Every structure is written in C-alpha cells, then in structure tokens.
C-alpha cells in the first residue's frame, strides 16, 4: 500500500518507520550558500504559541540586523539571503502566505519556544568543534520584549550573528556560561589581572573588573582563591577591543571574531577557560571558521552589497490530504504481499504513530477519494474499478468511507518505551 504524504508517494510501512525515526533524529532543513548569501534558512513558530504579529515583525527586524553584522564580522564574505518563516496553521492566514510544502517545525534551523525563564538564545549542538549545530532556539519573550533583549543581551543583530556562527561553523561561546565546564576566571600574572586572576573573555583587550554578587571587587580568601560568585564585568567606559562577538553583544566596539594572528583588539585569548578553548583545542573562532567550505569559496563581496534578507512566509494548509493507493494486481497475492503490508501496519507500536496522529489531526471523517487501481484481472478493492482487457480506466475513483481513530489527548505524555500503554492510530477504510 502506498500513501501520498507531503507530496511524496511512500510505502505505508516505510512511512511508519520514517515517522518513528524522526523522533530520534529529524533531518534538518538544508541551508544553501550561493554567492555569499545563505538561502533557505527556516524559522518555525509552534502552534502552541498564540498568534502575535510582533513575533513575525521582530524576527524580520532582528535577522535583518543580524545579516548586516554577519557580513561585517566575516569581512564581507557572507550574509542572510532568503529566510522562510513557518507560521502555524492555527494562525490567521494572510494573502502573502505561501502553502508550506516540506517545511516543518521539527526540521527548522531556528525554532521559537514558549519557555518562561532563561531567555538566553542558544544553539543545540551536541557535536564536536567545527561541526554544524542542530538548531537555534529563541524564546517568544526574547522576540517580543525589546527591553529585556537590550538589557540582558545587548545588540540583537550581534546576538543573531553569534548564534548563527555556532549553528553553521561549530564554534562556541567565549564568555562564562553557567552550568558548563567553563570557568569565570583563571590564574594570571598579567598587568590586567585582579589579585592574580583574569576574567574569562576574548579578546584580553576587553577592559573590566572581577566583581562578586554584591558588585564589589572580588577579594582572595585565606587560601588565595576568589569567591564562587566572582564574575568578569566589562567596564562601562568606551572600549577599543573589536572582538569577540562570541564573548559579548553589548559592547559597542565589538564587531568581529577573535583570531590567533591578529592585532591585540582581535587577538585570540587561548588562556581563557571558555567553551571555545575547551571544545576546540584552544583554536580561535576564525581558525575554526576558515576550515569551513563556506570561506574557501566565498571571496569578499562589494561594500555596498544589500544584505537585507528576503523573507518568505509559509503556512500549512488547515486540512491534510492523504491519498491511499492499493495495488490490486496478481503480484500482490504472491508470497502474501498484501497480507504482509497489513501485518506490518497492524504490528507497528503505537508510539511510532504519534507523529502521524499529529499530522492527521485535521483530517475530517467522511468520504475519502481513491484512485483507480492498476490494470488487473483480480477483483478491485472498494473505491475503484478494475480495468478489462489490460486497458486502464480513466474514470475517477469512487468515494469510500474513511474514519480515523486517534490516541487520547494525553497519549503524548506516555513514555514512548512503554509501547503496551500507547494506543495506536488506526485509519479505517
């Protein structure tokens, strides 16, 4: 049995396996670099988020700014060319919205979340240095609250350029990130050290102080150590350092990445115990980026290049159409082929069908259109008419009753490993 699913003919059993495997590893939307412009970036908004036009407006503004920052930070090599924004089907359809094809929240490059705390943008990247991340995560609050964005994270364009660098080129943060293996400071004999310690940063030209949780200068204890609450806080005075975007987005002078063979304002600080040094064997961000195919084939572009992205709005249709195609020829009777198909579908654990259940959530009960079967001397299934004398019939298929049995609303909360408790999705013809 074949199913026409998302513009593809797929064997029913293969479809089930694909849906199941997507739970563990969803193929990411492919970003393409063409003449310095990144095309086909996909940003997705989940249907759980209530409709708010500010989300779309701010996505456009922030990524337009980010494109300009990225262009400058990479020495005019790359920028954002085209960006698709996937709007959930339960939002009001607008005239400019195109119908989504293969775009899905599960394979987006940037996902919007409804988390209520810790609005720091991040990249899901469990892979090693120099390898692409999975996706950028931006909270709804980060997108709609400009005051929070500015006060906590600084320039929005720099924030996006930083996250995209982590996503595309597999580089890491150069500030102290709590909850990781990074450290907020390290021993140093430099003249800029505070009581024998330097704050974690890049470049070392960024001026500031090590302060405790009362905003007072950190003091050594009896053993010469600094308190756990000690953090490096950049000075409010004008800075001259140009790097690194992986360290801070709220310092005006910073506009590029650290490099090993650069002037002091951009020079990599290989002593800092940050994630970039820990995961990339103390390589600078630019050293990692230069190994990417992106920079080996993208010469500098003209200074007057228009870096404004082209935004394309896409939205799924409200009703999903599925076409079932049944092979009624004699070959299906050989080796019990058709029976095997039914057994395969019937024996599929319920949790494998969870995603299909979601996809079919809008399919109405009632008649389903069918296609004529292939020429056959065997009896046709309901909804079609067998051809005689080896000639294909061109009459449209009849209507067959179609109902769908779905798992209960809370089925998604069941542990997928407990397959005996998960009710399967059933399509009745």
Tens of pLDDT, residue by residue, the chain (429 residues): 555 545 545 454 444 444 433 333 458 899 999 999 999 999 999 999 999 999 999 999 999 999 999 999 999 999 999 999 999 999 999 999 999 998 999 999 999 999 878 899 999 876 789 999 999 999 999 999 999 999 999 999 999 999 999 999 999 999 999 989 999 999 998 877 878 999 999 999 999 999 999 999 999 988 889 999 999 999 988 999 999 999 999 999 999 999 998 988 899 999 999 999 999 999 999 999 999 999 987 789 999 999 999 999 999 986 555 555 556 566 665 655 555 555 554 444 443 444 444 444 444 444 444 444 444 444 444 444 444 444 444 455 444 445 444 444 444 443 433 333 334 444 444
- Domain shared by 154 and 288, yes or no: yes
| Residue 80 falls inside a structural domain | yes
For the chain, the domain total comes to 2
Query: Do 294 and 362 share a domain, yes or no?
Result: no
Pairing assessment for the beta strands 2-5 and 323-325 based on DSSP bridges = antiparallel
Domain contains 183: no
Q: Yes or no: say if 78 and 38 are a contact pair by the CB < 8 Å rule.
A: yes
Same-domain pairing of 8 and 120? no
Same domain, 38 and 155: yes
d(CA 243, CA 251): 9
Q: Tell if the pTM clears 0.95, that is, is over it.
A: no
Contact between residue 120 and residue 177 where contact means Cβ atoms under 8 Å apart:
no
Q: Looking at the DSSP assignment, which residues form a beta bridge with residue 356?
A: none
User: Which domain, by its residues, includes 372?
Assistant: 2-22+319-428
Query: Is 139 contained in some domain?
Result: yes
> Is 364 in the same domain as 289?
no
Last residue of a domain, one of 315, 336, 359: 315
Domain boundary among 257, 289, 315: 315
Other CB atoms within a 10 A radius of the CB of residue 80 amount to 25
pLDDT the model gives residue 429: 44
294 in any annotated domain: yes
Whole-number pLDDT of residue 334: 60
Give the tokens for residue 261: 């063979």
């Amino acid at each position: 049995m074949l199913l026409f699913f998302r513009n593809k003919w797929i064997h029913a059993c293969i479809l089930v396996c694909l849906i199941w495997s997507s739970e563990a590893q969803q193929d990411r939307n492919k970003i393409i670099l063409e003449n310095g412009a990144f095309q086909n970036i996909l940003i997705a908004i989940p249907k759980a988020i209530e409709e708010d036009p500010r989300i779309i407006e701010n996505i456009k503004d922030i990524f337009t700014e980010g494109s300009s920052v990225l262009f400058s930070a990479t020495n005019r090599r790359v920028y954002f060319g085209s960006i698709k924004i996937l709007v959930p089907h339960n939002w009001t359809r607008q005239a400019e919205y195109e119908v989504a094809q293969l775009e899905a929240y599960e394979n987006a490059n940037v996902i919007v979340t409804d988390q209520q705390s810790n609005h720091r943008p991040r990249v899901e990247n469990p892979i090693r240095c120099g390898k692409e991340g999975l996706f950028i995560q931006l909270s709804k609050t980060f997108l709609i609250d400009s005051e929070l964005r500015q006060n906590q994270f600084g320039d929005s364009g720099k924030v996006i350029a930083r996250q995209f660098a982590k996503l595309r080129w597999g580089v890491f943060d150069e500030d102290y990130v709590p909850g990781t293996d990074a450290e907020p400071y390290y021993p140093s004999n430099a003249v800029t050290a505070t009581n024998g310690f330097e704050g974690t940063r890049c470049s070392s030209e960024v001026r500031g102080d090590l302060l405790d949780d009362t905003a007072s200068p950190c003091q050594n204890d009896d053993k010469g150590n600094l308190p756990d609450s000690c953090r490096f806080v950049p000075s409010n005075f004008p800075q001259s350092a140009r790097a690194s975007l992986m360290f801070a987005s709220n310092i005006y002078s910073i506009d590029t990445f650290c490099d090993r063979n650069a002037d002091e304002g951009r020079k990599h600080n290989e002593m800092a115990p940050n994630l970039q040094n820990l995961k990339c064997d103390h390589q600078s961000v630019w050293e990692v980026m230069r190994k990417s195919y992106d920079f080996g084939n993208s010469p500098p572009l003209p200074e007057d290049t228009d870096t404004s992205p082209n935004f394309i709005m896409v939205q799924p249709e409200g009703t999903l159409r599925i076409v079932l195609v049944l092979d009624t020829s004699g070959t299906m009777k050989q080796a019990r082929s058709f029976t095997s198909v039914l057994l395969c579908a019937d024996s599929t654990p319920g949790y494998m069908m969870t995603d299909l259940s979601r996809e079919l959530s809008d399919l109405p009960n009632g008649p389903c259109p069918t296609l004529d079967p292939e020429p056959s001397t065997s009896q046709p299934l309901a909804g079609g008419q067998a051809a005689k004398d080896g000639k294909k019939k061109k009459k449209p298929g009849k209507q067959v009753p179609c109902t769908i049995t779905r798992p209960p609303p809370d089925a998604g909360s069941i542990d997928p490993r407990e397959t005996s408790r998960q009710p399967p999705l059933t399509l009745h013809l």
